Chain A
Amino acid sequence: MMIDSEARYLKTHEWAKKDGGVFVVGLTAYAIEQLGDIVYMELPEVGKELARGDAFGIVESVKSASDMYAPLSGKVVEVNEQVPDSPDVLKTDAYGAGWLIKIKAGDAAQFDSLMDADAYRKFLETEA
């Protein structure tokens, strides 16, 4: 699945989805495909306070290192520690098992201002 219709998106290719009272955040399948082999990742500690647009981690391929940005402001309440150890899951399930962090958002309305799936799809067309 290249785009998850449930998710909202940033132009920097992070997604966010509502999950009860928190927001799950990950990298889009498009970003993962573009990166190629992911060989190193750094994710934040639980408890870290993020402002929208803050870099919350690093994803590195053989050729490059890229920051990953928070789609919403809030506190990191859970981190998927398994992904840095076995990043192959990103290729198979970017919007599911490949989630990266969960954020308890201060302002849930920020979610609605993110690109929806259609807008992200159109954005990718302009990127290509």
Chain B
Amino acid sequence: MKQTLFFDRHTALGARMVDFAGWQMPIQYPQGIVAEHLTTRKHAGLFDVSHMGRFSLTGDGAPAFLRHVLTNDCEKLTAGQAQYTILANDTGGAIDDAFLYRLTAEKFLLVVNASNKEKDWAHLQEQVFGFSDVVLEDVSDEVAMLALQGPKSETILQSIITEGTLPEPKRNALGKVSIGGTQVWAARTGYTGEPACFELFIPAAEGALAVWDKLIEAEAGPIGLGARDTLRLEAGLPLYGHELGTGKDGKEIPIYAIAQAGFAISFTDPNRQFIGRQALEAQAHAKIFYKSQDYSETAALPKMVRQMRLLDKGIARDGAAVYYESRPVGWVSSGTMVPFWEYQKNGQAVQLTDEHSQRAVGLCMIEPNVSVGSEIEIEVRGRKLKAKIVAKNLENHQDSTAYAVI
């Protein structure tokens, strides 16, 4: 079992450690999943995400290779920008979803899921054959990775920076800063739905532990994998193995099933023949028809991932059957009880209060005609619980605060 650089920090904080994709990771700290979720939404959460895979791609040929092997177009990035992207297969399914960071014109960093790292590496090794001037390296051990997410994250990060300024704009920008002499790449990315969000890439050998300590001293709350999952779920973000990869029916999930596909796939350059393009174009085509309520051709995209909120008491979890007008239409792909801060709205302004509550939310994979606003039923232990398909469970206020849509 592997340990990240921060293992001793987690145990010293009293974290409950679990095995995750071959790593010993904190599932929760003594505060618990509910408190950690709430800390991130109102204050700032610090996540050790060093278990994720980090691949460096350099050389003049790197862009051409990335434009072949990833669904998004890396040439849309200038140095200092990042994008959501997918490693697709020929049939339009996902080998993995990933984030691509363009550090400089010829230097890219690809961050992949811990659970798919070996598979991704083998795929990239196989595909890079035939491309020249590309150096592909696994830098996961050399570069530590932390996420800092939540409304106070910018103030906290600002307070420990000794040189340089945080990158702008607030979404997907990337820049180099110095923290006590350690050169850190700070990216405005994350997996929590927080509009104020950072992911930090820190040389493992030089001061990564000091950066963790400084962030904790500046009162960022440590957050485990449990709350990481509830945060992404509330934000409606997909998780490989649930909303991407293989579905509960054993079939490959078409990438366009997820709402984020449009941000991850680029057809702009008609001459770019990336892996999976043909199949993905067929999926995109089906989705256009769905938008005008035409569900006559569903072969390319038989199910869509939608967000739901339970109306009845209870919790609908991964695997529960979903019914619409008494007919089975799919299943819950992720779901649990998630806490939220109550809030007051004065005109446009949103103010989180000190009261919190909870609600059962989730993602489900269902037939495309079951659109937003539909009432569905979810089978839980033989009973059918009422739920509603919603556009979103989380809303952003002024690029600083995320709050619950109730």
Contacts and interface: CB of A to CB of B under 8 A. Distances in A.
Contacts of B336: 39, 62-63
Contact of B34 (A37, A58, A65): A37
Given A62-B34, A62-B230, A63-B33, A36 B314 contact: no
B105 interface: no
Interface string A21-51: 0000000000000001101101000000000
Main secondary structure on A side of the interface with B: strand
A116 interface: no
Interface size class of B (residues with CB under 8 A): 10 to 19
Given A62-B337, A63-B226, A40 B315 contact: yes
A36 B226 CA distance: 11
B28 A39 contact: no
B76 interface: no
B381 A39 contact: no
A40 B314 CA distance: 7
Contacts of A40: 313-315, 337, 360
Contacts of A36: 16, 28, 32-33, 226
A78 interface: no
Contacts of A65: 315, 317
B226 A62 contact: yes
B32 A39 contact: no
B358 interface: yes
A37 B315 contact: no
B87 to A, nearest CB: 28
Contacts of A60: 315, 337
Nearest to B358: A39
Interface of A: 36-37, 39-40, 42, 58, 60-63, 65
* 8 shortest interchain CB distances as A-B pairs: A39-B337, A37-B34, A62-B33, A37-B32, A40-B315, A62-B336, A60-B315, A37-B33
